């Protein structure tokens, strides 16, 4: 694959990033602080959105594998997603003044549908474009670096312009407009420049037999379990970041700059992850990054109010480790799909990435659906300028940092001796390509 083709493939990751993190890191803050909706109601609504999303993932994954139009099974569903995601982003990020949780739930579901329609075939597309162990790391790294660039833009726009729409348009609404324009344009360019990948399917499995092969794919089950735990470990602080900085550290004006620093460090962490993977292997490099993130993050609840430089350092160091979280697991996911293709005879990347996406969204759903009601039990008030009791702020700090550490250590335990290395993967590719 040429460098130009890799770049053309990676470009849609930037606008797609504005459909992921902002939904759980910025939208709850906007709908609770600016629109004044109850914290627990917003958390429950976002949980229901993810339940709907959970139903969509396997359906879209199955269709993306089985439906084979002349346009290409990966390209067809990707192009179908573009108008759905663009319109939903505009409606959700630029709500009317009297918007309720019904508006949040309706457009949140449509945004999730568009995101899944795009992400499942897009991820499978990338996994099938490159077949070698190291090449997949490079492609995943370029895509995730582009994702982080898009995430930076998605964070900067709302906070640089401001979340309060009084006297003009809110920064979140500007983000919605930017996504509605850029996603269809960039997506069309990618469809023009990137070919449909080869299909190595030798046999079509019935649904029940296919599930049996999926359940028997032990590297996949192990990787998915670790990814779910680490995803929840990342989803909790992502959901609570804005509240932690404004309420616990007392620095609401620093929320945007700190998020920017965090994701900027994440971009720097992507090439570092690729380098570490070449030296230690993908799974060991990921484990070492998770351990390092735990050591750094353990200090966050101990910081006093106003500790902007100390927390800024935490953001830089954990941001570097984010580059590992984003680039290495997807590269390993492409490898475990080859385990299934070699054994079952059917190339089912769509179904596997649907399960992968389901784990990602489940972790965010649990984060949003549990942490907000839990904080409400401790009396935490998310309203702008609210005074919170010490017990509520302590609960915020513990849930924000120490609960995720326990989850990350569980993921490390699962992945430290992961069995699918470069030599094993080379054998799998030989079996697939010689068939």
Assign 3-class secondary structure to 288-342: HHHHHHHHHHCCHHHCCCCCHHHHHHHHHHHHHHHHHHHHHHHHHHHHHHHHHHH
pLDDT in tens, 333-367: 888 888 888 877 777 888 888 888 777 767 766 77
Residue pLDDT, tens place only, 310-319: 999 999 999 9
- Among residues 192, 187, 203, which one has the least CA distance to residue 77? 187
Q: How far is CA 369 from the centre of its chain?
A: 17
**CA neighbor of 277 nearest in space, from 208, 215, 331, 222:** 331
Instruction: Name the nearest CA neighbour of 46 among 366, 354, 377, 382.
Output: 366
Interior/surface letters 129-143, b for 16+ CB within 10 angstroms, e for the rest: bbbebeebbbbbbbb
CB-based contact 149:14 (threshold 8 Å):
yes
Write the DSSP symbol of residue 410: H
For the chain, which domains are there? 3-433 (1.20.1250.20)
Q: Give the model's pLDDT for residue 297.
A: 92
Classify 13 as helix, strand or coil.
helix
Cβ-proximal residues to 69 (8 Å cutoff; 6+ apart), any chain: 76
Interacting residues of 7 by C-beta distance below 8 A, sequence separation 6+:
142
CA 119 – CA 113 distance, rounded (Å): 10
How many angstroms separate the CA atoms of 322 and 78, rounded?
26
All residue ranges of the chain with pLDDT < 70 are 166-167, 199-207, 210, 361, 364-365, 368, 384, 435
Q: What is the pLDDT of residue 422?
A: 79
CA distance 91 to 111: 9
Under 8 Å CB-to-CB from 435, ≥6 apart: which residues?
Answer: 200, 202, 345
The predicted pLDDT at position 203 comes to 60
d(CA 41, CA 21): 20
Residue 99 CB neighbours (<10 A): 17
* 249-254 own/partner pairs: CB under 8 Å, 24+ apart: 249/303, 249/305, 249/306, 249/307, 249/308, 249/311, 250/305, 250/306, 251/305, 251/306, 251/308, 254/308
Q: What is the distance between the alpha carbons of residues 163 and 184, in angstroms, rounded to a whole number?
A: 25
Greatest alpha-carbon pair distance for the chain in Å reads 67
Per-residue three-class SS string for 365-409: HHHHHHHHHHHHHCCCCCCCCCCCCHHHHHHHHHHHHHHHHHHHH
Residue 40 has a pLDDT of 83
Return the pLDDT at 353: 83
Any idea how long the chain is?
A: 435
Contact 375, 276 (CB under 8 A): no
Which residues touch 309 (CB under 8 Å, ≥6 apart)? none
Cβ burial, residue 106 (10 Å; 0-12/13-18/19+): middle
């Amino acid at each position: 694959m040429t460098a130009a083709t890799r770049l053309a493939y990676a470009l849609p990751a930037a606008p797609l990033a504005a459909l992921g993190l902002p939904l759980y890191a910025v939208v709850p803050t906007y709908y609770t602080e600016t629109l004044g909706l109850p914290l627990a109601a917003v958390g429950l609504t976002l949980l229901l959105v993810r339940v709907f999303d959970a139903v969509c993932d396997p359906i879209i994954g199955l269709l993306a594998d089985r439906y084979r139009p002349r346009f290409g099974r990966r390209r067809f569903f990707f192009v179908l997603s573009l108008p759905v995601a663009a319109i939903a982003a505009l409606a959700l990020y630029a709500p009317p003044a009297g918007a309720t949780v019904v508006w949040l739930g309706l457009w949140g579901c449509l945004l999730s549908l568009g995101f899944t329609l795009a992400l499942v075939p897009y991820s499978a597309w990338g996994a099938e474009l490159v077949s070698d162990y190291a090449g997949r790391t490079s492609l995943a790294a370029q895509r995730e670096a582009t994702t982080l660039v898009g995430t930076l833009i998605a964070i900067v726009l709302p906070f640089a312009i401001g979340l309060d729409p009084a006297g003009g348009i809110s920064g979140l609404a500007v983000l919605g407009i930017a996504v509605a324009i850029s996603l269809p344009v960039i997506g069309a360019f990618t469809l023009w420049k990137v070919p449909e990948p080869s299909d190595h399917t030798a046999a079509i499995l019935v649904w029940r037999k296919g599930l049996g092969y999926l359940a028997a794919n032990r590297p996949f089950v192990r990787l998915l379990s670790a990814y779910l735990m680490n995803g929840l470990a990342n989803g909790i602080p992502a959901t609570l970041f804005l509240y932690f900085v404004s309420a616990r550290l007392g620095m609401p004006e620093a929320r945007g700059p700190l998020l920017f620093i965090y994701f900027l460090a994440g971009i720097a962490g992507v090439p570092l992850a690729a380098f570490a993977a070449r030296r230690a292997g993908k799974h060991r490099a990921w484990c070492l990054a998770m351990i390092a993130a735990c050591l750094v993050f353990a200090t966050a609840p101990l910081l006093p109010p106003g500790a902007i430089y100390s927390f800024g350092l935490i953001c830089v160091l954990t941001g570097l480790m984010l580059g590992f979280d984003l680039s290495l697991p997807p590269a390993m996911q492409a490898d475990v799909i080859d385990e299934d293709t070699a054994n079952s005879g059917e190339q089912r990347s769509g179904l596997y990435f649907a399960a992968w996406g389901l784990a990602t969204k489940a972790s965010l759903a649990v984060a949003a659906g549990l942490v907000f009601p839990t904080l409400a039990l401790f009396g935490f008030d998310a309203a702008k300028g609210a005074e919170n009791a010490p017990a509520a702020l302590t609960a915020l700090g513990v849930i924000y940092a120490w609960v995720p550490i326990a989850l990350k250590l569980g993921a490390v335990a699962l992945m430290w001796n992961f069995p699918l290395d470069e030599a094993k993967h080379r054998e799998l590719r030989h079996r697939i390509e010689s068939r």
